[in-house]
Structure 1
């Protein structure tokens, strides 16, 4: 028996591997936006047991893990199986200007929502400008003051 090398089959195998990995990473798609002094992240997690969801922050890395279990009985004959099962994880790096101690998480209708507040010190603030009196402006001295300084 001879083994024949088919370069197109190898390319297809490699593409399936790469796209399969990308497809698995995309099983937890997200939306991210800023609303006022908060960032809001919505993760799609349909069919996930809420008790399996784990959200953690370590060294400014936000990690979301969830488990979708197979609900088929033994002896099930699959006709189509497109919904992935297993453990899924997604990581996001959080900036320094966020308050990681105050992250809020809710899960409803298959969507995990995280609200990440902007830290107080990172929020934009208005600085009032006061008109200075020209007689007291920094860098101006009267002729009498100049004579005292020179003496």
Structure 2
């Protein structure tokens, strides 16, 4: 799994070779992203196995997203055995410029009057 921020999005790439799109499930609950899938293939009865290295069975991975990401706007794509997620940075987490107004502070004026 690779995850990185590019601009206003966090990108996640997960290698899932042999996983059919209909066996893949992606859920988000309380800022925890859960990926689960199955690689189901079997040798047929009577097959003589010489080598069996490809993984099979259930797969589950959880990732904490944090409060700075918009979990309501996640986009997912599975292509060539790679799951790609685009998770936008939440508006509240984006950097913003604070405008400075010239003049005196009401708090400083109140302190000076006391």
TM-aligned CA deviation for residue 128 of structure 1: 2.9
- d(CA) in 2 for partners of 1:125 and 1:75? 66
Q: Which one has the bigger helix percentage? A: 1
Runs (5+) with no aligned partner, structure 1: 1-29, 141-148
TM-aligned CA deviation for residue 90 of structure 1: 0.2
1:81 partnered with 2:36: no
Q: Which residues in structure 2 correspond to 1:113-124 (within 5 Å)?
A: 113-124=84-95
- d(CA) in 1 for partners of 2:82 and 2:45? 29
Say which structure, 1 or 2, has more relative contact order (CA 8 Å, 6+ apart).
2
TM-aligned CA deviation for residue 74 of structure 1: 1.9
- d(CA) in 2 for partners of 1:115 and 1:41? 7
Aligned residues: 110
Q: Which one has the bigger strand percentage? A: 2
RMSD over equivalenced CA pairs, Å: 2.0
TM-score w.r.t. length of structure 1: 0.67
- d(CA) in 2 for partners of 1:98 and 1:120? 8
- d(CA) in 2 for partners of 1:75 and 1:38? 50
